[in-house]
Structures are given as structure tokens and as C-alpha cells.
Structure 1
């Protein structure tokens, strides 16, 4: 049995959508306005909020008509292979994303308090060391895939370290998250299962031995998370930290190396890394359609009736790029974006994500100052999936750098050798990147 209650639904899956989602949003906007019916997987339908003001109206008014708990929707989802991926991404979990009111405030305080303990200057140094180590592995080749060899390993290693796991877990985390985000039937379920095992092992290891890391601080926080609440909070934070950060890095680099306003100006001072990050967050946000919402009672919203137990997704990508009649240079909003959400559920860890992305990109472009794509940007392949905007590959070429070259090089921090690990291994030692939690002293 499928959930077909929305006629003329657009598809947020398949090669056509992956190739050009903005064309799909434009057609939906023309046919339906600010809220459009879509399928996120075969037979799994939702209302997609594609207008900027409509998106703000949802994001900033949670707690009245709008709620986050989707148990009623989940009960109606058919038990099919196609539904496994979406349910893994959108089904109710006791964490900050899927809760309301006092419950949400309690979960969010745990996340905010613990991330506040991560010192920005030490996080930046950590990113420098990991980035330089990765660059040193391909700098002498003169070519690389900056998705698999750079953008994906950086947040995997950084967040493994911040949560108290070794570098050896990075490859498994990357694969699990890729499978989960695709939300593609059995692959999505496989990713969800692998990610759950990762979280289970993480919790078990930190219950056995605490460290100066986020997992230990979550465990010992005065909010006293129950075992299932702790596990689901870790699921949320790790998923929200890894995949969006990896996509933000690769999406930004792809814009910089294909647009003369950015990359050709690195040596003559026009638009730089920050500008490219802001443009990526606006035009190509790493999580393009997410933010699941539901209504308490039937509501007529921007021309569309929405019923309880119907899924509503906010399209950050569509809302950010909604056409206006105001020229860019005259817009008072400065090209405002919803890349990190808005309102009470806005990402509480956007600052660390920006530090990681900006530092990694700056290290890359400082070492390899003549990067260029090996194919036109419009020919790059994108991973399928309704929730993210993620490059499958980012092939580049550049002038090779040798280990014996004079001047600063990526080997200055981590020289490659048969006896040297490919990246620093952080074990959560005191002083590596944070101060001790005040509630654990």
C-alpha cells in the first residue's frame, strides 16, 4: 500500500533530479506556488516548502501549529523496501531534531553546552593538521578527487576525534553515512544499520572509559540523558556534523575552481573563501531538503491544505534561490540563506562547521594554487537522494608539489612515510582541542 494523497507530485529522486534539482524546483513553483507536492521515494509523499517566506514561517513558528514529532506520519508509512531509507532519516527519535517544547530545550542544551567546550583555535589547528596530511597524499600526483580524497575524510576524522573514536573508524563512517543519506531502499537501511552499530560501539567504549570528548560530556551532562536519548542524540549530532560539512567543503571548492570571481582572484584579491562558502550555503546548501515538520491540526498554509500525519519538508535550496524582482545589488537581505536552518531548530553547531570548512579549503588553496576541474562543472556527477546536494566526484588537476620543494608544504606537519600514519590520531587527550567539562571536574 502506498501513500498517494497528493496528485501531480514532483519526484525528488532519480537521475533527472540529481542532475538539476533547481529545474525541478522551478517547475514545482510554476505549478504550485510556495508549497508543492513531491515524492521523496516511490510511494512516499510530502509537502515541499519552496518559498522563502513560507520556509521562514515554518522554521520560526514551531510550537504552535507546527510540531517536530512525526509518529503519526510514521505510522502511516507503508512497510516497503522503498520506505526504509526515508523512515531512517525522518522517523521519530528522542533527540533535539524530532522533539518539541521542554523536551527539545533539554536535548538542545546538552548539544550547545558540550560544543561550547570545543576551543575554536584548537579545532582550527586540528583541521590544519588533518588537511595537510590528506593533501600530502596526492600533492605529488598533480591530480585528485577532492570528494573521496579530501572533503569526505576531513569531517570523518575530525568528528571521530571530537567524539573520541580513532581514525581507523573513518572509512566505515563515510560509507554508512553515504548509504543512509541516499535514502534508497535497502541501501538506506544498510547505512542506518551500520551507523547504529557505530554509535553503539561509541557509547559502549565511553561508558567503559571516559575522555575529554563530546561523547563523554554528553554522558556526564547534568541533563542526565537516558541510554536511548544519548544514543539518538549522538546519531543526530554525528549525522548533522559529518555529511553536511563534507558536502559544504566539496560544493564550495567546486564553485571556486569553476568561477573566475573566486579562484582566479586568490592572488589578486577579489572574492575569497568566505564569499564562496556563503554562496554555496545559499545556492547549493549541503542539506537541500530536510527539516521535517508536521501540523497539530488541519491548516491552510500558503495556498495548500495540510493535514495531521502529512510530512512537510523545508527546501532550503529552493527557498534560498526563489526568484525576486529585486536586482542582486539592491537586495537588502544580502542574499540571505537558510543553509543552517532558522528559528529554535537552527543548527547549534554551525560555528564549528564553518571553522572546519573554511580552514580546510584555505589549506588546500594555499598549497595548490592552480587547481582546475578536469571536466566542466555542469558535467560533474551528483549523488542521488532527496535530502542532500552532494557531489559524487570532484576531479581536479594542478601543478604537482614534491616533498623536497622549498617553502611551506603539506609535508611540513605530517611527512608521508611507511612508518607514519596518514593522519593524526587523536584519542581525546586533555588539552588536544577542548577544556574539561565543568560538570565532570
Structure 2
């Protein structure tokens, strides 16, 4: 599941796997074996069954026996952290309650107000060029910057958080990046204990669950990991659909909401995950699964189970498994949808003649066992002045003409009139412009 063949045609691979039954043996990356659940009903059975299956990777037999190297690339996604993703029972309920209560304090209006200036800021970075990569210039950066905003990150911590999280998702020096991520989150927690604000970090600290610093750090890692990569892929996959469907290549009459629903059914942003560990040897529809071995749920395969073919037309939007199911189902379905919807509408409205710069069939998908993710999405459009940030600012705020602006082709903004010893990150530049 780690090769380019799988990335190029996962549904073709899933179809071959169905010969094994409701689940099939797979290799996630070299040396890491697992069982992949490809049948819808079998996936639901595992996701909803807390009696026979655990989410705690400390049960992982091969890892405990030293058969998985500490620098294996799947460990950032699969190794134990004391967060609500990798715990069960009362511990899971306590941690999840802190997370869900904090997320409930967000509201749709605030999310839109947070997404819109970030979208405008990013679009301004490339709108004068007439070309862009909507993944690396937009869909990848927007969730990273948004979570800096939601977490209440100051400039320095936000820049480091953005850099380290990006490196982890891109597989660049993941061990060092994880260390840097841990360090900057611990700094953020210390800051928010001293100076609480109107942000998710402060809300988690103030929650009656009384999370300690280690627990706080790992809930933040979980929130960012569960929000940034899936959001990036949801935005990117929906934009690809909208730019290729319909006679005009702009989605025809397809609404953005319909495109998002289509992606969640057919190309979910996290296609294979929700690893469970059987507490004992189990029989899964005739497939033997050994105790304490990884059992990975394929949302992409289960949603496209041939048994659903006739029923899919009548199934509700929520019937797909892209958000998971059972006690570990995603607690942020509504916010995640609003973020993607706002981001997509912002760029389609800003660049109305946006078109693909390469045929849809030539788009490259990033290899990896867990995600369904475009490597890039090159587009072209009529060049327009980068004035969107200024349009969103109040008269008391600096306009873009006095703020940092990148040279053509640059991916990191620098000041217009004088060079700095070190380039500023996207987050600190955004804060400079909006003074927030």
C-alpha cells in the first residue's frame, strides 16, 4: 500500500483484495504488515465493537517484539499517544469529553471569519502569477495557518508548528520534526497557562477534566493531525472534481456541497486508518485475524463495497464511513465541512476562470498507505492584483501595500523594500498584516 501503483489506482487494488473476503493481508510500508478491512458491514462491526477490539497501539505485537524500527514512517500515525484517538474506556471518555466540549465552543460564524482572511492572504501570494499549485500553495497551507489561529499561536511558535507539522506529513526527517512539534506545543501550553485566551488551547486547559501538560500536548497533536492532512486532501480532492466535471470543466451545475459529499464517498481524504487491535484471535467473515495485530479500516474500500452499489443512491450523506463510526467517530464533522466549503468557495470566487494546467488523468497522487492525496494541482487563471487582504481589513489595519509581499515565484513572503537576515514564516507574516 506504499507504492505508486496503489496511489495511482487504489480502487483497482481494493477490487483485487476482495478476493480474500471482507478483509485482506497488506503491507502498509516495508516491514509493517496489517489486515485491511474492505467490506462495509465488517468495517462497521469493528468500528462499533469495543468488546473485541482496542484502539491502543501498545498492544501491537510486532512493535513490542522490536520488529518495527523506531524511525519507521508509519509510527507518527500509529504509535501510542495518550490522546482520545489511541485510548479506550474511561480514559477515552475523559479525554474525548475535553476535546468535544472545546470544539463545541467554536461556531460556524467564527470559523468562516477565521478561514476567509487566511484564504485571501494565500490567494494574494500567487494571484498575480496567473498560475498556482492549489495543493502546495493553498490547500496544504490553509489548514496549518487556521490551526495556528484556533490554537492561539503567537508568531514564533506558529511558524515552528507549521514547519514541523508540514515536515511530518511530507515524511521529511519525521523524528526531528516530531521533537520540534513537541517542543513548540509545550511552549504554547506553558504560555496559555500564564496568559489564557479565546482559543482551543486555553479551553482545553480550563476544562474540568484537568488535563496535565502531556495530555494537553497530545490532544493538540491529535487535533492538528486529524484536521490538517484530512482537510488538505478534502479541499484538494473536491477542487479536482469541480475543475474536471461538467461540460465546462468547472463542475457544471455541481454545488460545492455535492462535490464534498462525492469525495467523502469515493475518495475520502483519509482512506485507510482507524487501526484496531483484536483482544483475541477473531474470525472476521471467514478471515482469521490474530490478536494484537493491526486491523486497519479502509474507508475508501468500504464506501465502495459492491454490496452497496444499488443502495448508494438512497443512502443518506452520513452513511459513508469517511468520518468513522462508533465511539471514535470524528467529533468535528461540521467544522471540517465548513472549513473546506469556505476555502473552496473563496478561491473559486476569487479566480472565476480557474482551470487545470494539466489533464485530470495526469494528476499525481502522493504514495502512502493512509491518505488519498494529490501531490499537486497545477492551475492557470487570468492574473489579478493581490488586493484581497486589503479588502478584508478595517481602516485601522495596515493595507497590503505596507505589508510583506513575496517576489514572483516565491513561496515564502519577504518584505518588499529590505531583506531580512532570516525569512519570516507564513504565520508571522499573516500576523504582521492583520495585527492579530
Q: Does residue 1:417 correspond to 2:404, yes or no?
A: no
Alignment of 1:350-365 (within 5 A): 350-365=333-348
Question: Paired residue for 1:5?
Answer: none
Structure 2: gaps (5+ residues): 394-398, 406-425
Question: Paired residue for 2:240?
Answer: 254
Mapped to 2, the partners of 1:355 and 1:335 lie a distance apart of: 15
How big is the shift at 1:410? Answer: 6.0
Deviations 1:401-426 (Å, cap 9, x if unpaired)?
A: 2368xxxx565225533425876439
Match of 1:375 among 336, 358, 371: 358
Q: Secondary structure at the match of 1:46?
A: strand
Q: 1:262 to 1:107 in 2, by over 3 A?
A: farther
Q: Does residue 1:206 correspond to 2:192, yes or no?
A: yes
**How many equivalent residue pairs?**
407
Match of 1:242 among 219, 228, 231: 228
Question: Paired residue for 2:413?
Answer: none
Q: 1:153 to 1:178 in 2, by over 3 A?
A: closer
Q: 1:117 to 1:335 in 2, by over 3 A?
A: closer
How big is the shift at 1:103? Answer: 1.1
How big is the shift at 1:52? Answer: 1.1
Match of 1:306 among 270, 289, 294: 289
Q: 1:130 to 1:332 in 2, by over 3 A?
A: closer
Q: 1:381 to 1:167 in 2, by over 3 A?
A: farther
Question: Paired residue for 1:162?
Answer: 150
How big is the shift at 1:60? Answer: 1.7
Deviations 1:169-226 (Å, cap 9, x if unpaired)?
A: 55544443344345x6x84334433322332232232233221211111112110112
Q: Does residue 1:192 correspond to 2:178, yes or no?
A: yes
Q: Is the Cα contact below 8 Å between 2:31 and 2:68 reproduced in 1?
A: no
Q: 1:217 to 1:64 in 2, by over 3 A?
A: same
Q: Secondary structure at the match of 2:73?
A: helix
Aligned alpha-carbon RMSD (Å): 2.7
Mapped to 1, the partners of 2:91 and 2:318 lie a distance apart of: 34
Q: Is the Cα contact below 8 Å between 1:19 and 1:381 reproduced in 2?
A: yes
Q: Is the Cα contact below 8 Å between 1:300 and 1:306 reproduced in 2?
A: yes
TM-score (norm 2): 0.86
Q: Does residue 1:69 correspond to 2:56, yes or no?
A: yes
Segment of structure 1 superposing worse, 151-160 or 394-403: 394-403
Q: Is the Cα contact below 8 Å between 2:400 and 2:433 reproduced in 1?
A: no
Q: Secondary structure at the match of 1:396?
A: strand
Mapped to 1, the partners of 2:308 and 2:207 lie a distance apart of: 49
Q: Secondary structure at the match of 1:37?
A: strand
Q: 1:347 to 1:85 in 2, by over 3 A?
A: same
Mapped to 1, the partners of 2:273 and 2:323 lie a distance apart of: 11
Q: Secondary structure at the match of 2:364?
A: coil
Q: 1:273 to 1:227 in 2, by over 3 A?
A: same
Question: Paired residue for 2:109?
Answer: 121
Q: Is the Cα contact below 8 Å between 2:161 and 2:184 reproduced in 1?
A: yes
Q: Does residue 1:226 correspond to 2:212, yes or no?
A: yes
Q: 1:143 to 1:80 in 2, by over 3 A?
A: same
Q: 1:383 to 1:264 in 2, by over 3 A?
A: closer
Q: Secondary structure at the match of 2:197?
A: coil
Mapped to 2, the partners of 1:77 and 1:287 lie a distance apart of: 28
Alignment of 1:105-120 (within 5 A): 105-120=93-108
Q: 1:193 to 1:298 in 2, by over 3 A?
A: same
Alignment of 1:387-406 (within 5 A): 387-402=370-385
